[in-house]
Amino acid sequence: MTQAHAELVRANELAPSLADDAATILAGLTAPQKRLSPKYFYDEAGSQLFDAICELPEYYLTRTEHAIMERHLDEMAALIGSGTAVIEFGSGSSRKIRQLLDRLDGPLAYVPVDISEDYLSSMAGALARDYPALQVLPVFADFTRPFDLPAFSVLPSRNLVFFPGSTIGNFEHEQARALLEVMRHEAGPGGALLIGVDLQKDPSVVHAAYNDGAGVTAAFNLNVLRRLNAELDATFDLDGFRHEAIYDEREGRIEMRLVSLRSQRAMVADRVIDFSADEHIVTEYSHKYSQEGFETLARSAGLEPTRAWHDSRGLFSVQYLTVPD
Ligand code: AVJ
């Protein structure tokens, strides 16, 4: 492993701080239905709160996905084959990628793609040390748009796009289809995708996962206002809003909101944002799929649903999709 292998590739333009996204954020906060993208949750504090969410008894997603992977990794590895380049969309948790790399047959390269440069370089460095045979080639990019893959010194037998955690659920169906098309493009003909997808289930189970008793999800949701105050000269009163997460069964999704407790005004980067009592900002959608619904979505993106693994309670799924030659 040479130092060059862990050097960052900058693949497209992006916004490292909220200030660079001010126009988009203000457009969302001045729309008839106020909204903020869930990607703004993940500053340092937000990432720590998300890690705490993953440990909550009510939040079944992370531990169920982990258990599905543990149980079926031999079969997954057999399907994926040897000499693969693993491209991770949003280098989330290094625990998940290690779980996969440890069981794959001679993986050739690992390409984490993320907009968080600090996180990307530290995790890439650690992986390069722990997996000396692996080319670790981080790409600093917004994965919702096509990006150039780094040059591999040895040609991979196939590309595997890895997208765990049900992050796909954050996207509305049309955007999710567009993202799957980017993944198909990056995997290339003969390539494959391994994606974690949360499943539709008893609404009370979903509801509890986003309304935990300890209030960690509420703190995670409210943290985005603290972040706007710190990075965009905003003046939100953090005690003036409450967390709400409702499961819309018809849409098959959780909608997270910040509800204004009273009529109030906040400044955001010199703009006035007025709230009436009970008015809310939509901060996140988290879509849940049926197996059939996800397969239809995958096919609409030109992908072939090849295999899917569920836990015994039908809470979560890991989907293996292939790109036709
Ligand atoms: C990281 C998008 C999968 O939708 O469950 C957790 C984020 N939001 N609790 C999800 C989240 C509230 C999470 N994803």
pLDDT value for 113: 94
- Site to probe by mutation for ligand 1, drawn from 205, 286, 289 as the one with most ligand atoms within 8 Å of Cβ, is 286
Answer whether 220's CB lies under 8 Å from 11's CB. Answer: no
User: Closest Cα to residue 163, out of 142, 148, 179?
Assistant: 179
Does residue 8 have a pLDDT over 80?
no
Does residue 210 have a pLDDT over 80?
yes
Q: What is the DSSP string of 260-279?
A: ESSSEEEEETTEEEEE-TT-
Those residues with Cβ within 8 angstroms of residue 201's Cβ, 6 or more apart along the chain or in another chain: 288, 314, 315
* Per-residue model confidence as pLDDT tens digits over 283-322: 999 999 999 999 999 999 999 999 999 999 999 999 999 9
pLDDT value for 116: 78
pLDDT value for 152: 93
**Minimum mean pLDDT range among 112-116, 152-156, 299-303:** 112-116
CA distance 263 to 5: 54
pLDDT value for 95: 87
Nearest CA to ligand 1 atom 4: 286
pLDDT value for 13: 58
pLDDT value for 261: 98
Give CA separation, 2 vs 34, 80, 137, 153, in Å.
48, 26, 11, 12
Q: Name residue 17's amino acid.
A: S
- Site to probe by mutation for ligand 1, drawn from 284, 285, 287 as the one with most ligand atoms within 8 Å of Cβ, is 284
Give mean pLDDT, residues 153-168: 96
Does residue 75 have a pLDDT over 90?
yes
Nearest CA to ligand 1 atom 1: 167
Nearest CA to ligand 1 atom 10: 286
Residues with CB under 6 A from ligand 1: 53, 61, 165-167, 169-170, 210, 217, 284, 286
Does residue 44 have a pLDDT over 60?
yes
Summarize the chain as % helix, strand, coil (round to 5).
40, 25, 35
Identify any residues that bridge with 111 across adjacent strands, giving them in sequence order: 87
| The ligand 1 atom nearest the CA atom of 245 | 12
CA distance 99 to 120: 18
CA distance 129 to 106: 16
pLDDT value for 91: 76
Answer whether 15's CB lies under 8 Å from 179's CB. Answer: no
CA distance 67 to 60: 11
CA distance 319 to 307: 6
Does residue 3 have a pLDDT over 60?
no
